[in-house]
A = this chain, B = another copy of it.
């Protein structure tokens, strides 16, 4: 015999998929549900936990359980990097002509930085290795919180690192008040005479920390993408390292790899 909580979960799944329970709709209280399904509250909660892990329901403490509205997935395409690079110079060219209308144009098509927070930190072992600098080298750490335009939940947590020494040639870059910066990071690097050659991204999936779950409005059990983006310039020097946390249930990452012709 199937486990009781699984049978209950399956019954609720059917109701949801069949449209008996519609997106946004509130489920009966857990005590009521336990009664309906002739079981105890803890067992009922086991069933609900299953649905929750699958992303079918949202749990809201003190309010209730709700059938989840399918959240729009956001696509993150690696073509954005070339796009950003092209744009970095465009913006620069226009600046020379027109002045500064740049403030409207955000960083990237679907990102809009609302909060930027800068500080200086010494490189730990990990970062020192990636940058190929001695441990303890001063880095500029920049924290961003970005939101989708629609005023939904915040969408990604970004921590970016630059070598302080390298950046100091342009003092504007040290001030968080200048964010969001028209033309994005690649334009910032351009002001330092740095051109990027390639970008490497390493992706892992893991459960969110309590902090991340809080900030991203995630529920326990939903996994996050952890992405480390490493930007290397044309002299083969690592110039930026960026750690990004993305909600696994709302993000779709797309990478296109071109192949050399035979």
**In the complex, chain A residues 213-238 whose Cβ is within 8 Å of any chain B Cβ:** 220-221, 223-225, 234
Contact A252–B204 (Cβ < 8 Å): yes
Q: Are A262 and B89 in contact (CB under 8 A)?
A: yes
Given the interface pairs A207-B223, A223-B205, A261-B234, the reply to whether A198 lies near B256 with Cβ below 8 Å is yes
Chain B residues lying within 8 Å of A261, measured Cβ to Cβ, are: 195, 197, 234
Q: Using known A-B contacts A207-B53, A221-B221, A223-B248, determine if residue A200 contacts B259 with beta carbons closer than 8 Å.
A: no
How many copies of this kind of chain does the complex include?
Answer: 2
Q: How far is B261's CA from A55's CA once the two chains are assembled, in angstroms?
A: 43
Given A82-B260, A257-B78, A259-B196, the answer on whether A249 and B201 have CB atoms closer than 8 Å is no
CB atoms of A199 and B55 under 8 A apart: no
Complex: A220 Cα to B53 Cα, angstroms: 10
Q: Which residue of chain B has its CB nearest to the CB of A262? A: B195
Indicate if the CB atoms of A198 and B78 lie closer than 8 Å. no
**Contacts of A204 on B, CB cut-off 8 Å?**
73, 248, 251-253
Please, which residues of chain B bring their CB within 8 A of the CB of A205?
205, 223-225, 248-249, 251
Beyond A81-B259, A198-B257, A234-B261, whether A203 also contacts B206 by CB under 8 A is no
**Given A195-B262, A202-B252, A248-B204: A81 and B257 interface contact (C-beta under 8 Å):** yes
Question: How close is A77's CB to chain B, nearest CB, in angstroms?
Answer: 9
Using an 8 Å CB-CB cutoff, how does the interface string of A37-55 with B read, 1 for contact, 0 for none? 0000010000000000111
B195, B200, B257: the one within 8 Å of A201 (CB): B257
Q: Count chain B CB atoms within 10 A of each CB in A42, A82, A199, A206 and give the residue with the most.
A: A206
12 CB contacts below 8 A, A to B, read: A54-B207, A55-B207, A78-B255, A85-B260, A197-B259, A199-B257, A201-B257, A202-B252, A203-B203, A203-B255, A234-B261, A255-B257
Shortest Cβ-Cβ A-B pairs, 9 listed: A205-B248, A223-B223, A203-B253, A205-B205, A255-B255, A198-B258, A78-B257, A200-B256, A199-B257
